[in-house]
């Protein structure tokens, strides 16, 4: 099933190259099926303002930008400037105007408080799962009502449903998923893409 899902929407050479750059840097970008889902939800929500936590080499960012409105702006945050240099090259090679992306180098916990309240259509989180809870709290402030939160790598490489997995990152992820399911302020659903996406609409 994973092979079919990942192959259903084929990645173009630019996305393939960005994925290869990620591998060279030891990063694991979103799967092709997750990328297609990100493009879908960005397009369905006619997203103009998106925050991405975890730039990587631009794989997820490019998928998001291709679903956003033509005037939309992606604000993407990563602690590694080297990764973001690659992402800038990827976005430029895709023919995207420089103003379509705002690339901020820094820790999410330092950058997110500086972003405006209630103006973002989508927040995508794909970085250290120990910081997912803080990112969710920030997203609740950043998103407009009806805005969408998406957590990447929600299967945690299969550890999410492995009953004996008790490492800190997996436990933190389970806690976040449970809180989003039980919190009245969110309307969640788990999308079983190859790597898993947890989506939640802010009521």
Residue range of the domain that includes 88: 2-202
Q: What is the CATH number of the domain that holds 103?
A: 3.40.50.150
**Total of domains in the chain:** 1
Strand order in the sheet with 120-125: 101-105, 73-78, 49-53, 120-125, 143-151, 197-202, 186-191
CA angle 177/183/186 to nearest 5° reads 85
| Local confidence pLDDT in tens for the 203 residues of the chain | 778 888 899 899 999 999 999 999 999 999 999 999 999 999 999 999 999 999 999 999 999 999 999 999 999 999 999 999 999 999 999 999 999 999 999 999 999 999 999 999 999 999 988 899 999 999 999 999 999 999 999 998 877 888 888 888 889 999 999 999 999 999 999 999 989 999 999 99
Contact 150, 199 (CB under 8 A): yes
Pair of tokens at residue 71: 């005037």
pTM here is: 0.95
């Amino acid at each position: 099933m994973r092979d079919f899902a990942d192959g259903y929407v084929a990645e173009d050479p630019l996305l393939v190259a960005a994925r290869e750059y990620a591998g060279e840097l030891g990063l694991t970008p979103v799967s092709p099926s997750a990328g297609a889902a990100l493009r879908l939800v960005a397009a369905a929500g006619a997203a103009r303002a998106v925050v991405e936590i975890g730039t990587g080499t631009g794989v997820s960012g490019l998928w998001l930008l291709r679903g956003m409105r033509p005037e939309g702006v992606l604000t993407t945050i990563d602690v590694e400037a080297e990764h973001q240099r690659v992402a800038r090259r990827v976005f430029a090679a895709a023919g995207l105007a420089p103003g379509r992306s705002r690339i901020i180098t820094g820790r999410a916990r330092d950058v997110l408080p500086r972003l405006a309240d209630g103006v973002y259509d989508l927040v995508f989180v794909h970085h250290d799962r120990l910081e997912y809870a803080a990112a969710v709290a920030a997203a609740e402030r950043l998103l407009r009502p009806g805005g969408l939160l998406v957590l990447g790598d929600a299967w945690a490489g299969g550890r999410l449903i492995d009953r004996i997995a008790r490492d800190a990152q997996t436990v933190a992820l389970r806690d976040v998923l449970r809180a989003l399911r039980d919190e009245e302020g969110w309307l969640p659903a788990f999308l079983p893409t190859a790597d898993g996406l947890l989506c939640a609409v802010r009521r």
